[in-house]
Amino acid sequence: MITTDILIIGAGPTGLFTVFEAGLLKLKCHLIDALPQPGGQCSEIYPKKPIYDIPGFPEILAGDLTTNLLEQSKQFEPGFTLGERAETIEKQDNGSFIVTTNKGTKHQAPIVAIAGGLGSFEPRKPPIPNIADYEDHGVEYMIKDPEVYRDKKVVIAGGGDSALDWAVFLTDVAEEVTLVHRRNEFRGALDSVDKVQELKNLGKINLITPAEIKGILGTGKVTGVAVEKKGEAPFIVDADHFIPLFGLSPKLGPIGNWGLEIEKNAIKVDNALDYQTNIPGVYAIGDVNTYPGKLKLILCGFHEATLMCQSAFKRIFPDKKYVMKYTTVGGIDGFDGTRKEAPKAVVKAIN
């Protein structure tokens, strides 16, 4: 039996930052994740995708963000159960919970924090009859390593942020980038739309709208796609890779059977206080939760994790008063007994 103070379901960015915030309160964490490595979607789906809305980083790759979060949290020595899915939860007479994975590994903790992101997911696939024949042979539903497309002809389909961002990014990698969308209007950020339009004007992106991919060509491997532009006859675009980026279809999986209050495939929480679910002692933070005004942003998950840890401390130590200290003044107490003091100039400025 693995015991800890806070059991975190999900080792994505929000889960990893929870380790740091809990560590400041001297609370130990253990994380469960179905993926074989920490980082969630940032590691598994788009490690090389740039992220622009992390405070203090004008731009950071998703994989680098994971690396930094792991480095930040490792001083608090979190435990990991990776490659296993949280399957069942049982409340004990003492108020703690036992969470068992699909492989039978048992974990016990007084606090459970569900930070499972979108949950388990699978890509939304376009209705192209022969698309399954080309999966892993030129058809990919996510981009893990952009170098795979070095000096290749790439066709991307989609109109959201992922399609726009990757089309822009791959212009510096691929020989040719074509972006196909069924509408003239895009769902992505206006800045990304402007970048695509600018690259189109410079001849660096082939933009085809409104249009859809109707077929894939090639014997054993993608050599082209059939494009049907509205009001025109179908035509062929040469391609080494076809990447339909229509988003992910999220599923909560076994967590959906835990007696939690669910709304539109997300877990309802009390955002007025501490992001606790309808089960006392069980919290949901990050993209997996929902409440009025919810924004599915990594930085929002960080905020939720911080408040959740304060509430968890009060539940674990109801008679112990915690006085919040700023890390810029007090530094960080390490488990080795050392303290990282703030620079004297910083202390002087604050005092």
State the Cα–Cα distance between residues 183 and 25, nearest whole angstrom.
Answer: 50
> Class of the 125-246 domain?
alpha beta
Question: What is the rounded distance in angstroms from the CA atom of residue 295 to the CA atom of residue 272?
Answer: 15
Say how many CA atoms lie within 13 Å of 167 toward its Cβ: 34
Backbone phi, then psi, for 113, in 5-degree steps? Answer: -115, 115
Q: Is 206 in contact with 176 (CB distance < 8 Å)?
A: yes
> In sequence order, what DSSP letters do the residues of 26-42 get, joined into one string?
T--EEEEESSSSTTTHH
Per-residue pLDDT of the chain (351 residues; tens, 9 = 90+): 999 999 999 999 999 999 999 999 999 999 998 877 888 777 666 666 788 889 999 988 888 999 999 999 999 999 999 888 899 999 999 999 999 998 999 999 999 999 977 655 567 889 998 899 999 899 998 887 899 999 999 999 999 888 998 999 999 999 999 999 999 999 887 888 999 999 999 999 999 999 999 999 999 999 999 999 988 999 999 999 999 998 766 667 788 889 999 998 899 999 988 999 999 999 999 999 999 999 989 999 999 999 999 999 999 999 887 666 666 555 665 444 344 443 443 333 333
Beta strand pairing call for 289-290 and 266-268: parallel
Q: What pLDDT score does 188 carry?
A: 80
The DSSP secondary-structure symbol of 12 reads S
Structure tokens, 148: 């795979």
Tokens coding 254 = 């076994």
CATH topology of domain 2-121+249-320: FAD/NAD(P)-binding domain (3.50.50)
Residue pair 164/193 in contact (Cβ under 8 Å)? The answer is: yes
- Can you tell me the distance from the alpha carbon of 231 to that of 109, in angstroms, rounded to the nearest whole number? 61
* Residue pointed to by tokens 């074509």: 178
Start-end of CATH 3.50.50.60 domains in the chain: 2-121+249-320, 125-246
What are the backbone dihedrals phi and psi of residue 120, each rounded to the nearest 5 degrees, phi first?
-75, 150
Q: How many CB atoms lie within 10 A of CB 48?
A: 16
Predicted confidence at residue 342, as pLDDT, reads 39
- pTM value > 0.75: no
